[in-house]
Amino acid sequence: MAVLDLEKEVVDTSPTNKFNTKYIPQEVLGTGASSTVRRCISKDTKEEFAVKILDLNSGVETIEVLRAECMREVSILRKVAGHPNIIKLQDVFEEDAYVFLVFELCKGGELFDYLTKMITLSEKRTRMIMRQMLDAVNFIHSKGVVHRDLKPENILMDSEMNIKISDFGLAVYATDVDELQETRGTPGYLAPEVLRCGYYDGQAPYGQPVDVWACGVIMYTLLVGFPPFWNRKEYLMLRQIMQGKYSFRSPEWDEISDTAKDLVCFCHSLCSSLPQASFCNCYLGALVFMHAFGFFLHKSIGT
């Protein structure tokens, strides 16, 4: 993520602003449609954090809708707190026009930028990333949550290159049937049943397996540097996803083990073959591949 204008004015800097009584805002780390992310420093401890500043007057949605969506994200972040591979929410401050979410600062940046720099990752590095990712996803699911937007841009890395799943802005509770019939997420990472809900009436709500499908897309991309589903025309790419059409025929896969390919296939088989009720422990089937190579929970990626 590129660093933007360091001189950009910090919003809502009045002395009464609760955020500014505890933190010193620093340079911009990134921007979105209705938010800005800055590095910030605790006035008490001098520790560095990242603050996501949501502008409720951005015009993207009404103030009421933006605030409600933000508070849902906060609720879910607190629900899934405590896992080493999930971003830690440090503080929340609500103002009339802004909401400030203070997170731990992940100095390793985005997995997307790391992959762009490396082009492809070794099987060893990929397995260790996936071990942490699948364990975190299982934890999220054990709390009754569906992330819905897993992708390399939403996977951060700390200074020791351990991953942190972030951006729970599209996350919902697994009991929210209405939300789980909406087509939400990033096109290349959407599971077939998410697309079916958008294309056809009367579809059953999708559920937690869609996150594991996205993990399969991420793993494929880490290993060979390009995604399993891609076309210049988005509707053709979405058709590929609906049909589950991907392959290991490109030369980049020649040196990749069958075990790694099996894990990608396993992640992508869940959405078409497993009923919702049987998903609660299905990630264990994927983790057996990790155990075969001696990669256990919470081991640093950089080791």
HEC assignment per residue over 17-67: CHHHHHEEEEEEEEECCCEEEEEEEECCCCCEEEEEEEECCCCCCCHHHHH
For the stretch 155-173, pLDDT in tens is: 999 999 999 999 999 999 9
Using the Cα atoms of residue 122, residue 222, residue 129 and residue 253 in order, give the sign of their dihedral.
negative
Q: Which structure tokens are listed for 180?
A: 């789980």
For the stretch 184-225, pLDDT in tens is: 999 999 999 999 999 999 999 999 999 999 999 999 999 999
Q: Is 117 annotated as a binding residue?
A: no
Compute, in degrees rounded to 10, the torsion defined by CA atoms 99, 102, 105, 111.
-50
Residue spans per domain, the chain: 18-104, 109-291
pLDDT grade, residue 262 (50/70/90)? confident
Could you give the CA distance from residue 163 to residue 179 in angstroms, rounded to a whole number? 27
**pTM given for the model:** 0.87
Comparing C-alpha atoms, which of 167, 152, 166 is closest to residue 111? Answer: 152
Q: What is the CATH number of domain 18-104?
A: 3.30.200.20
Q: Is 149 a catalytic residue?
A: yes
The number of CA neighbours under 13 Å toward the Cβ of 33 is 5
Considering the chain, what is the average pLDDT of its residues? 87
| Burial per residue of 115-150, b for 16 or more beta-carbon CB atoms within 10 angstroms, e otherwise | beeeeebeeebbbbbbbbbbbbbbbbbebebbbbbb
In the predicted model, what is the mean pLDDT of residues 142-151? 97
For the stretch 45-64, pLDDT in tens is: 999 999 999 999 988 889 99
For 248, residues 6+ apart whose C-beta sits below 8 A from its C-beta are 256, 261
pLDDT grade, residue 280 (50/70/90)? very low
Given 12, 55, 135, 149, the catalytic residue: 149
Q: Which structure tokens are listed for 226?
A: 């390009």
Q: Which structure tokens are listed for 104?
A: 């731990």
Domain 109-291 has CATH 1.10.510.10: yes
